[in-house]
Structure formats: C-alpha cells, structure tokens
Structure 1
C-alpha cells in the first residue's frame, strides 16, 4: 500500500521521496536487447517509468545502479554471468537500495523463494499483459509486493510441505547448496567441481556456513542439514542443485505484508 504524505510518495524501504506523478526511475536488466527494448516501450508509454539504464548482465547492472541510483530494477531471472540471486542480493546492499522485480519464463516456487530471501519483492511472467508490468512497478515502488496468483499459491503450498525445514540461519542459496553436498559426504573438491567453483571459494563458503550455524564439526553440519531437510536421507532423493531447498520465513513475510496478488 502506498504511503502519501503531503502530495509526496514515500518509499518505506529507503526513505526516498518523489512527486506523486513523477516517473519511477527504473533500471532494466536482461541478457537479450530485444527484451529490454520491449520492457522500455511497455513501461515508458504510460509514463510510469523513467528508464535510467539498461544492462545485459549482473555486473553491469550493479555498476549502473551505483551510478544512477534507480528506485526499481526489473531483473531477468535467467541471468548467467552473475545469477539473479547474487545480483539481487548485491543490489539490495546498495545505499539507497533499489527494489527488485523479477521477470521469469517458468514458475519455480523453489527459485522464487530463494529470490525473495535475496530481497526481491515483485515477480511477473515475461508473457504477462503489458499493463501488468506497470502495475507491478507501481506496487513495488510504493513499498508493497507483487505476485501472480498462481505463483503465490505455489509458494504457500511449498511452505506447507516444508515440515520444519526453514532456513533459520540466513544461509544464502549458494551456502545452502554447498551445505547439502557436504552433508551428503562430498569433499570440497567434489563440491567445487559439481558447482563450477574453485576449491578456495567452496572453503570460504564452508567457513561462512559454520559461522552462521555455529557448527563446530562436520557432524554438527550434518545434523543441521538434516533439520533443514537438505540431505538425501531427509528428502528421499539424491543430491542435485535444484532437488530440495529450504523454504525460509522470508517468503511468508513478503506474501503476507502489503501483498498485491494478481
């Protein structure tokens, strides 16, 4: 819900103010130029947005965001050079922090939950009606959230099946992946090979996991992974990058507070 104070719209997330009818400064991030061109046309036509920049990958998006300080970033869920999760998390660390809307092709409640944890507050399908994009930007810029109805239902269902597997430790997506492999007996070298990382990077993540969970031994990590339902034994399958991820509390909070579900 928008907050109006003396004809000004106040964003409760970062304190920025702008005129009630002033276009919303927006950064477009998508690997395909044709998609960015389409988004620009759709968002600028009704006067909803002022496009302050375009980026083809996460690194470029961060650079432009630091310079232009957009209020909204419309981000492709399929980014590869720096994935959508890491890009969102880094954008949300900026000051002022832009709000992030994720554009996706396929609904994946697991991925969406992780992106919510990273800081995204809006989601819209790339094949949505043009008017929905402007609605999403307006809702999110006003401090609310925006979820298609089917996606919101999938998130609620996912949470209902979690059975206590909540990520109460604040682990990132990458840390969660690594914890699962470690708990299932993979060495640092094997984890690095499977995830396309350096061994040193895996070691750094492992250290961060131990700090966040206060785990002193590998046995502690295994116990924590089982409690989060990450291990193959807990979920009844074999390890994979997309097999089982924890359903954190962030998704329910975002869905329940100021949510616009369409």
Structure 2
C-alpha cells in the first residue's frame, strides 16, 4: 500500500533532498509540497495525505502551529516533524501538539525512511538522538523517573509490556507478533494505556516509557 506524504519546508533545496530520499522507497509517494505551514495545512486539507512531514521553522505558520491545526481538523493524517533543531523546548512543544514522530535532518537518510514507515504503520517514532536525550534527561533527574514510574503503576503487567514496545517504536502489528497477541487486542491495550496514563497519543506514551525505564529493560516497582 502506498504511503502518501505531504512535505513542507521553506528551503527548496532541503525539500528536494528529502523528496529524493523518500523516492528511493517505491511504496512512499510525495503527493504535495509546501513552502510554509499555512500552505501545508491548505494542501493537506485538499489531498488528505497519510503523513504530513513538516519542518518546524517556517514562515506564515511554523510546523508546530501547522501540526496543531492538522491534528484538530485531519485526525487521520499523521504528523511528523523534521528539523535541524533538537533542543528540549522544541521536543517538549512537539509532544504537546500531539505529533506522531520527530526526526532530525542531520540523521542518516535510512532513518527518514524507517520513521515514515513506522508512523504509517501506526507506531510512534522518535529519532534515536531524541530518544537518547530523553533517556539522559530522565537518568539525570530522579524526580522525573519517580514521577513516571508512579504514573505507570496504574497499568497492568501486560499493559506495561505493550508500553515498553510502544516506547521502542513498534507498530501494533509488530507488538502483537512480539507478545503473541492479536493486533485488535494490542489496539485495545494501547487505548487503555493512553486513557490510564492521561496522554493523548503514542509519542507521549513513549516518552513516559523512556522516563520510567521500560525501554531499557528496567523493572519499576509496582
């Protein structure tokens, strides 16, 4: 099945480079390109892509603003932010806007393809560099770890297993294969996890998994 992508970046050279990388995958099709966030939202409403791949810093409307509008008006379109900036404030802001993925332009081109495919498959995806920053920040801040572990106490053992795999970027189908569960059962668990944790999406759940140590194989006390 073709993954239909809307690409938005105010630098034509960057757009061309990203498009060329995506074109190496025969199942990914860039159906529209935008030079700013406002144009991206308008084109998304017209084309209804599977994924909107947005730069953060753009004129008229930045990527965060565009992400917020798309989440509100086109919930079926997944939003992935692509940027050269990996400061904590950008990552935190992206999480609050309910994005499905966060990729860095400086990453290996293969990571772009992996990230787009993961999100298209229903998974959350964070660039490994972003995940490392989250883990490092959590490891250096005991209160963050403690708070995250308290929050996951509301989960059952099976839900923690599922959350750990969500944190590792697995799709529902991959989680099902790993835990020998039907995909529908995984979807049920993921919905319950989001509700119990009080988060809006898989990326926010993945952040909690990182902070609680689930992705590192830690065993938080229940």
- Same fold per TM (> 0.5)? yes
Deviations 1:198-249 (CA, angstroms, capped at 9, x unpaired): xxxxxxxxxxxxxxxxxxxxxxxxxxxxxxxxxxxxxxxxxxxxxxxxxx96
Deviations 1:8-52 (CA, angstroms, capped at 9, x unpaired): xxxxxxxxxxxxxx2200000000111111111111222131111
1:48 is aligned to 2:34: no
Specify whether residues 249 and 96 from structure 1 end up closer, same or farther in structure 2 by C-alpha distance, changes over 3 A only. Answer: closer
Show the counterpart of 2:47: 68
Give the structure-1-normalised TM-score: 0.53
1:220-231 correspondence to structure 2 within 5 Å = none
Q: Where does the alignment leave 5 or more consecutive residues of structure 1 unmatched?
A: 1-21, 167-247
What's the offset of the Cα at 1:252?
4.5
1:32 is aligned to 2:11: yes
Distance 1:52 1:26 in 2: 6
Deviations 1:42-78 (CA, angstroms, capped at 9, x unpaired): 1122213111100011110011000000010111022
Q: Aligned with 1:100: secondary structure?
A: strand
Show the counterpart of 2:111: 132
What's the offset of the Cα at 1:139?
0.4
Distance 1:252 1:88 in 2: 15
Distance 2:215 2:40 in 1: 26
Show the counterpart of 1:147: 126
C-alpha RMSD over aligned residues: 2.9
Distance 2:119 2:55 in 1: 16
Give the structure-2-normalised TM-score: 0.62
Distance 2:99 2:112 in 1: 15
What's the offset of the Cα at 1:163?
5.4
1:162-181 correspondence to structure 2 within 5 Å = none
Residues 71 and 98, structure 1, Cα contact 8 Å, conserved in 2: yes
1:23 is aligned to 2:2: yes
Distance 2:37 2:121 in 1: 24
Q: Where does the alignment leave 5 or more consecutive residues of structure 2 unmatched?
A: 148-197, 217-222
More helix by share: 2
Aligned equivalent of 2:63, options 84, 95, 105: 84
